[in-house]
């Protein structure tokens, strides 16, 4: 059913199109042309004006080919890659592993997902497989912090449920939970003084920051929650007591309330330490994306598990500690599970994917469409 050579050739073609995040214009145009040729109606939204990225999100809609009242379904991938992603030269070894021949990433994250969806669309047409309305949402700026999806108008998403193809793991397995993430900026305002003449008249923002950090519980908070300080800035000349320091941090949890609790604890540690030393504190946090959590009983999961089982693929479910566009679309009220694509070592120059995983990803989404046809709208 799946044309293996066609699928692999298209994947190889796609990864050779430069599309580092914020530089999506060329790949967006190529994908638009391909989608139209496949019979989709394509809309590029206006998110680029908000995000500063090279293109907006592509929302492609394939009309039903039957009058049967099948549920509307969507699939999402992203068009951008991380760096270094210029001049990618993919190669496949004798064992079927596809990797980059040079000093770049491969771009299987997430062009493997794109290629699998395009092959699915071709097979649906060639085999005249009955289906309801299908949307592809191919986002820009996913690698920049889900920027494209976050800026997308939710009214453009017209589906009852859907799937992201953007997760590592064995094809057939499903990420059914991902955390809420909050970003944090903490600022400490001390008092400058000459470090050699009258340091006692100063308040070192660096010292206060260090004391505040020591009071915070960071790293693994519990089995569902983490927190981390990733950046510490402050100071200048060694003969001046530093009067300003800035910390950038994050907190994430599979339970939203635990994120709130962690943020409150971090803020309390900062403010109490600053008060003890006579410094001033400023704490700012923002929820970057909401979490989601399904069980095997939820239809969006059960359907995908049935599809995987039909193909003899593993259909385990798991929780992930990272975010994806699935978080955003769940936040829009459309149940979205994240399907493993099989790629390995993403975001590194060792990134690779096996041809069998690419093929199975395409088989899986075709089977999901066929399982969807068994569900009453």
Whether the Cβ atoms of residue 60 and residue 364 lie closer than 8 Å to each other? no
Among 241, 217, 242, 240, CA closest to 229:
217
Whether the Cβ atoms of residue 189 and residue 244 lie closer than 8 Å to each other? yes
Q: Which CATH number fits domain 4-178+291-372: 3.40.630.10, 3.30.450.20, 3.40.50.80, 3.40.50.300?
A: 3.40.630.10
93 is catalytic: no
Residue 377 pLDDT level (bands cut at 50, 70, 90): low
Kind of pairing between the strands at 90-92 and 161-167: unpaired
Q: Whole-angstrom Cα distance, residue 190 to residue 273?
A: 12
Among 281, 282, 256, CA closest to 182:
256
Q: In this predicted model, what pLDDT tens digit does every residue of 110-151 receive, in sequence order?
A: 999 999 999 999 999 999 999 999 999 999 999 999 999 999
What is the chain's mean pLDDT, rounded?
97
Question: Sheet of 97-100: strands edge to edge?
Answer: 90-92, 97-100, 352-354
- Name the residue ranges covered by the structural domains of the chain: 4-178+291-372, 184-289
Q: Whole-angstrom Cα distance, residue 361 to residue 352?
A: 15
Among 209, 272, 287, CA closest to 243:
209
Please give the pLDDT value at position 301: 98
Q: Whole-angstrom Cα distance, residue 136 to residue 138?
A: 6
What CATH class is the domain 184-289? Answer: alpha beta
Question: Is the confidence at residue 376, as pLDDT, over 80?
Answer: no
Question: How far separated are the first and last CA of the chain, in Å rounded?
Answer: 26
Q: Whole-angstrom Cα distance, residue 21 to residue 78?
A: 10
Q: In this predicted model, what pLDDT tens digit does every residue of 272-308 receive, in sequence order?
A: 999 999 999 999 999 999 999 999 999 999 999 999 9
Q: In this predicted model, what pLDDT tens digit does every residue of 152-186 receive, in sequence order?
A: 999 999 999 999 999 999 999 999 999 999 999 99
Q: In this predicted model, what pLDDT tens digit does every residue of 63-90 receive, in sequence order?
A: 999 999 999 999 999 999 999 999 999 9
Q: In this predicted model, what pLDDT tens digit does every residue of 259-275 receive, in sequence order?
A: 999 999 999 999 999 99
Q: Whole-angstrom Cα distance, residue 150 to residue 183?
A: 15
Residue 102 pLDDT level (bands cut at 50, 70, 90): confident
Query: Which of 142, 243, 351, 357 is the catalytic position?
Result: 142
Q: How many Cα neighbours within 13 Å face the side chain of 2?
A: 26
Q: Whole-angstrom Cα distance, residue 104 to residue 349?
A: 5
142 is catalytic: yes
Query: Which of 10, 20, 44, 80 is the catalytic position?
Result: 80
Residue 226 pLDDT level (bands cut at 50, 70, 90): very high
> From start to end of the chain, where are the E strands?
41-44, 58-62, 73-78, 90-92, 97-100, 134-139, 161-167, 174-178, 180-189, 219-222, 225-234, 244-253, 280-289, 292-293, 317-319, 336-340, 352-354
């Amino acid at each position: 059913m799946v044309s293996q050579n066609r699928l692999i050739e298209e994947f190889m073609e796609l990864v050779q199109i430069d599309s580092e995040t914020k530089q999506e214009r060329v790949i967006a145009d190529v994908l638009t042309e391909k989608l139209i040729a496949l019979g989709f109606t394509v809309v590029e939204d206006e998110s680029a004006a908000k995000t500063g990225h090279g293109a907006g999100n592509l929302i492609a809609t394939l009309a039903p080919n039957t009058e049967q009242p099948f549920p509307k379904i969507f699939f999402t991938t992203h068009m951008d890659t991380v760096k270094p992603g210029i001049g990618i030269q993919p190669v496949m070894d004798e064992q079927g592993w596809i990797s980059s021949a040079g000093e770049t990433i491969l771009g299987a994250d997430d062009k493997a997902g794109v290629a699998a969806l395009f092959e699915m669309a071709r097979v649906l047409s060639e085999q005249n497989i009955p289906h309801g309305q299908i949307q592809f949402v191919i986002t820009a700026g996913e690698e920049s912090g889900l920027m494209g999806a976050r800026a997308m108008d939710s009214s453009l998403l017209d589906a009852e449920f859907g799937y992201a193809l953007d997760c590592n793991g064995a094809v057939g397995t499903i990420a059914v939970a991902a955390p809420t993430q909050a970003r944090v900026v903490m600022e400490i305002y001390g008092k400058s003084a000459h470090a050699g003449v009258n340091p006692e008249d100063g308040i070192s923002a660096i010292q206060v920051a260090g004391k505040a950090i020591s009071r915070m519980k960071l790293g693994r908070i519990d089995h569902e929650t983490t927190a981390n300080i990733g950046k510490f800035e402050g100071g200048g000349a060694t003969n001046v007591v530093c009067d300003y320091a800035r910390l950038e941090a994050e907190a994430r949890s599979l339970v939203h309330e635990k994120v709130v609790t962690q943020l409150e604890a971090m803020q309390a540690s900062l403010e109490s330490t600053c008060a003890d030393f006579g410094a001033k504190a400023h704490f700012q946090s923002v929820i970057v994306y909401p979490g989601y959590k399904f069980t095997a009983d939820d239809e969006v999961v059960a359907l995908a598990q049935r599809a995987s089982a039909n193909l003899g693929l593993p259909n385990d479910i798991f929780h992930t500690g990272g975010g994806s566009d699935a978080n955003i679309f769940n936040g829009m009220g459309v149940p979205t599970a994240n399907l493993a694509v099989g790629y390995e070592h993403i975001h590194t120059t060792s990134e690779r994917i096996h041809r069998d995983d690419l093929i199975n990803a395409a088989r899986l989404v075709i089977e999901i469409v066929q399982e969807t046809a068994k569900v009453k709208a």
